[in-house]
Structure 1
Amino acid sequence: MNAADLHKDAIVIDGLICAKWERALFEDMAKGGLTAANCTVSFWENFEGTVRNIVEMNDLIEESSDLLIKVRTTEDIHRAKQQGKTGVMMGFQNAHAFEDQIGYVQVFKDLGVGIVQMCYNTQNLVGTGCYERDGGLSGFGREIVAEMNKVGMLCDLSHVGPNTAKEVIDESKKPVAYSHCLPSGLKEHPRNRSDEELKYIADKGGFVGVTMFTPFLRAGVNATIEDYVEAIRYVYNIVGEDAIGIGTDFTQGQDQNFFEYLTHDKGYARRLTRFGEIINPKGIRTVGEFPNLTEALLKDGFTETQVRKIMGDNWVNLLREVWGE
């Protein structure tokens, strides 16, 4: 099967998109043949602010129902594929929205949230982010992990510190994930993961989504789709063909204010980092260019079966195990 046909036939899942939610993006998702995506609806927002974001997302899904469907189960992902639409999986990049209420986990699950990152770069009530001295998972955090396991919500460790990540992996009764990360073996960065960390999550039944956010790639802003595939190959060599997927971290359509919000603690306090210029790798600058990735993976020597797994099948298997449906 050639690359174009394979891409068309495969389930294609992006484990993390935090782009500007608008019609133009949804049309680009259709162009890119995206079956489903984990769409961020909370960073620093509290319970109420996050609920408001979910209301907004629900409205967008309804307005663009010719292109989108809301995903609660893996069956919905298959339905999106059959209907030629993109499934919206709602996710958080911070457990901050739970505030100090364990019961909010179930509330958000009922609203359709299936993936939650434990911390976003800094300390919260659950644990520690990757830009701070890492105190690990708190007692409250252990209760949150247990509750997330119970309701069927994926624990995402992409922006947490190494101690917190390890303790969540050990604490969770269900598989956990780095939905979007890169290996520090190719570039040292607080957001990147060591070979040991990648191996540890895979050995414990977890999952790694490989991102293409250029500040974390070896070639930086000069990165091409081949550099992204190099990172995928690197991670693949550590975790194997069943524990790897895609999590692009597309920020399509976002402006400078958005990045200022992301790079300050709580969205407004101390500056945590500077990304510099944000430009995606040449060859996959937009969601619409997703088919190029299937082609680049085949070109790199991945088999058709491996490409299907990386592009989406592994995500479906992981989510089925965590969500239970």
Structure 2
Amino acid sequence: MNAAELHQDAIIIDGLICAKWNRELFEDMSKGGLTAANCTVSFWENFQNTVNNVVEMNQLIDASSDLLIKVQSTADIHRAKQEGKTGVMMGFQNANAYEDQIGYVKVFKDLGVGIVQMCYNTQNLVGTGCYERDGGLSGFGREIVGEMNRVGVLCDLSHVGAKTSEEVILESKQRVAYSHCLPSGLKDHPRNKSDAELKFIADHGGFVGVTMFAPFLKNGIDSTIEDYVEAIEYIYNIVGEDSIGIGTDFTQGQDQNFFEYLTHDKGYARRLTRFGKIINPEGIRTVGDFPNLTEALLRRGFSETQVRKIMGENWVTLLKDVWGA
């Protein structure tokens, strides 16, 4: 099977996209052969504004039902594959939308939110993000983890501080994930994870999705798809072939205001970081270029079985473990 045939046949999952949601993007997802994607519907928003975002996403899915289906189970991912559509998995990059209400975990799960990052860059009621002194998982945070475990929501630790992450990994009765991260072994950055952190999550049954967000890659905006594959291989060599997947962090179609929102605490307060110019790696500039990644992995020497796992099968296994059959 050649690269194009393999890509067409395999389940392809992107574990994190926070692009501008519109018809043009959904058409590009289709072009890229995406079976499903974790689509961010909350960063700093509170409960009400996050509900509004879910409403808007539901409307977008309905309006593009020829291209999309809403994912609430792994069966929906397989159905998306059979129907040649892209499954939309709704996710949060911050537990802020839960406010101080444990019951909101199930409310959002019932609405289709099955992946939630504990914190986004800074402190919230659950724990601490990666851009400030890490106080660890709060008592309330332990209750939130317990409820996420109970109702079947994946704990995501991508933007979470090292201590809070470690405590979530130990607290959770279910598998957890870094849905989109890179190794600090290739570039030292607050958002990148050390070899020890990568090994720790894998040793405790967790999962690592590898991002291609240029500011965190070794060669920054000069990166190519080969640099991305190098990072995938680096993490693969630490966590093994069953604990790794893709989480691009595609921000396709977003403007400068969006990045200003992301890089300030709560979206408006103190500046946390500057990304500078954002250019995706050459060879995978848009979601439509996804087939190039399958080809690049094969070229790197990964076997067909390994490529299938990395490109999507491992994500399905993880979500089935957390969400239930």
TM tier relative to shorter chain: over 0.9
Report the counterpart of residue 144 of structure 1 in structure 2.
144
- Alpha-carbon RMSD across the aligned residues, in angstroms, is 0.2
Report the counterpart of residue 13 of structure 1 in structure 2.
13
Report the counterpart of residue 175 of structure 2 in structure 1.
175
Name the SS of the counterpart of 2:88 in structure 1.
strand
Report the counterpart of residue 111 of structure 1 in structure 2.
111
- The CA distance in 1 between the partners of 2:268 and 2:153, in whole Å, is 28
In the alignment, does 2:266 pair up with 1:266? yes
What is the total number of aligned residue pairs between the two structures? Answer: 325
Using the TM superposition, give the Cα deviation of residue 108 of structure 1 relative to its aligned residue in structure 2, in angstroms. Answer: 0.2
Structure 1: give runs of 5+ residues left out of the alignment: none
Report the counterpart of residue 190 of structure 1 in structure 2.
190
Report the counterpart of residue 36 of structure 1 in structure 2.
36
Using the TM superposition, give the Cα deviation of residue 175 of structure 1 relative to its aligned residue in structure 2, in angstroms. Answer: 0.2
- The CA distance in 2 between the partners of 1:172 and 1:31, in whole Å, is 37
Name the SS of the counterpart of 1:101 in structure 2.
coil
Using the TM superposition, give the Cα deviation of residue 81 of structure 1 relative to its aligned residue in structure 2, in angstroms. Answer: 0.1
Name the SS of the counterpart of 2:233 in structure 1.
helix
Alignment-mate amino acid for residue 213 of structure 1: F
Using the TM superposition, give the Cα deviation of residue 297 of structure 1 relative to its aligned residue in structure 2, in angstroms. Answer: 0.0
In the alignment, does 2:154 pair up with 1:159? no
- The CA distance in 2 between the partners of 1:157 and 1:286, in whole Å, is 25
Deviations 1:140-197 (A, max 9, x none): 0000000000000000000000000000000000000000000000000000000000
Report the counterpart of residue 278 of structure 1 in structure 2.
278
Structure 2: give runs of 5+ residues left out of the alignment: none
Alignment-mate amino acid for residue 15 of structure 1: G
Alignment-mate amino acid for residue 243 of structure 1: S
Pairing of 1:248-267 with structure 2 (within 5 A): 248-267=248-267
| Percent identical residues | 83
Alignment-mate amino acid for residue 98 of structure 2: F
Report the counterpart of residue 99 of structure 1 in structure 2.
99
Deviations 1:74-97 (A, max 9, x none): 000000000000000000000000
Report the counterpart of residue 207 of structure 2 in structure 1.
207
Report the counterpart of residue 229 of structure 1 in structure 2.
229
- The CA distance in 1 between the partners of 2:148 and 2:119, in whole Å, is 14
Name the SS of the counterpart of 1:316 in structure 2.
helix
- The CA distance in 2 between the partners of 1:84 and 1:212, in whole Å, is 25
Using the TM superposition, give the Cα deviation of residue 284 of structure 1 relative to its aligned residue in structure 2, in angstroms. Answer: 0.1
In the alignment, does 2:238 pair up with 1:238? yes
- The CA distance in 1 between the partners of 2:219 and 2:231, in whole Å, is 11
TM-score, reference length from structure 2: 1.00
In the alignment, does 2:59 pair up with 1:55? no
Alignment-mate amino acid for residue 91 of structure 1: G
